[in-house]
Amino acid sequence: MSTSALGNPAEAVVYGIPNCDTVKKARAWLAERGVPYRFHDFKKQGVPPEHLARWQAAAGWDKVLNRQGTTWRKLPPEAQAAVTDAASAAALLQREPSAIKRPVVEWPGGAISVGFAPGDWAARIG
């Protein structure tokens, strides 16, 4: 699929990192079901701040922040302790996009999901 984050609003936009196992599973799941989507690579294209704010508003900053991942675990304890609210989480996630729980999907119609949940996704695509 295309890597552009702009285009047809009837397509889902999948945000993530291409070598992430969860993102690979999610993209394969969508492809197997013929669901059109565009892929936005955090590493190459960055994280659009206005999208990050939308994700935090929809899912909660604590869900968007992946505290289980390698990026978070490698942060110094003082950097981890400094993340206490949406603003501090957003600042960290702009600097360290790999600390975002993946994938984030902007679904047609404006819904947002964080992480790969096949049951939830099946309900979303009908």
Q: Could you list the active site residues?
A: 20
- For 98, counting Cβ atoms within 10 Å of its Cβ (0-12 exposed, 13-18 middle, 19+ buried), the class is middle
User: Contacts for 93-97 with beta carbons within 8 Å, 24 or more apart?
Assistant: 93/47, 93/52, 93/64, 93/65, 94/47, 94/49, 94/52, 96/71, 97/17, 97/42, 97/43, 97/46, 97/47
